[in-house]
Every structure is written in structure tokens, then in C-alpha cells.
Amino acid sequence: CPFCHVASGKNPELVAQMGEQFKTVAEGGSYTPPVPEIKKLVDAGEAVYVHMFGSGHGNGFLAAEALYCANDQDQFWQAHDKLMTNAGYTLLNDQIKNDRTQAATLAEFLAPEIDQTYMSECLSSKKFESRVTRDVSKNAELYFSGTPHYVVNGKIFGGAVDFNAMKAELK
């Protein structure tokens, strides 16, 4: 999902294609990607981050499984940040395309952030397929369409919203 990549703050190449509204403060713009700011709050013990896959752009299902596999090894953020790079975006959309026979390729890409053998076996075994399928169902039940979505103290923010728009809801 291009908007998930923008919100991650890890893909300046894609941001350059998406438009001036997503040009980050670090790049001379005004946009503050929400995920790095939320991660700071999580790391400080001031927030909880729950990641659920939403099937907004089709080629992220296997990547979502990879994030569950990484989380299983306490490596969620490392895998997340690598997948959210331009190289990750290109790999997922141009080569992997949710093709499980590409599990070893995805595992190789995520190494050394996560053990390559574990990742390949986890993806090939479909260990977390049902969780990703559940995520898609839950998103539909919550009437979330498009991606990403954030819920901050009960208020829903949809899309690659600027973190500053969420600040007022942080208590």
C-alpha cells in the first residue's frame, strides 16, 4: 500500500512520487509520518500499537504474514521498517505479489533482521495465514476501507494522516 509506506516514513522515493502533501519535515515539507511518532510513544511506554492487515492494495498479504512471523521472534519493527523501504515496496509489488512460492525470496530480503530459515519456514507453513485473514474480516466489520487506519483514544484516523492531526487526541 503506497499510503502505508508514506505513513511509515521509510520510503522517501515513493513519497517524492505521491505529492507535496506528503513531503516530510525532514525533506523541507510539512508532513510528519505517524508511524515513527507512534513508535516513539510505544517505546516510551505511553502507547500501544496494534498492527492489523487491511487489504487496501492487494500485494501485502504475504508481507503481513511476514510481520506476524517477525513478531513471533520479537522482530516486528525490524521487519516492518525493512518492508516499508522503497526496496521492500518494489519487491512486494513487482516480484512477490502474494505468491507463497516466493517465501524464500521474502525471507532472504528480511535477513539479517530476522532469521532467514525461520522466516521461510513460517511463511511456507502458513502459520499466520488465518490471523491475516481474520484481520481482513475485522477491518470489514469495523467499516475500515482503504489503508492505513489509526484509532487514537477512540477516534479513527484514516489514510496517511499527518501525525500532528492526531496530537489533540493523545492524552
Contact (Cβ atoms closer than 8 angstroms) between residue 22 and residue 28: no
Residues in contact with 10: Cβ distance below 8 Å, sequence separation at least 6, in sequence order: 81, 84, 85
Q: Hey, which residues does 155 pair with through a beta bridge?
A: 152
144-171 residue pLDDT tens: 877 888 888 888 898 899 999 999 888 7
**Residue 110 burial (CB count, 10 A):** 27
79-131 residue pLDDT tens: 999 999 999 999 999 999 999 999 999 999 999 899 999 999 999 999 999 99
H or E segment and range at residue 149? strand 149-152
Residue 60, helix vs strand vs coil: coil
Q: The pTM is what?
A: 0.92
> What is the distance between the alpha carbons of residues 44 and 98, in angstroms, rounded to a whole number?
34
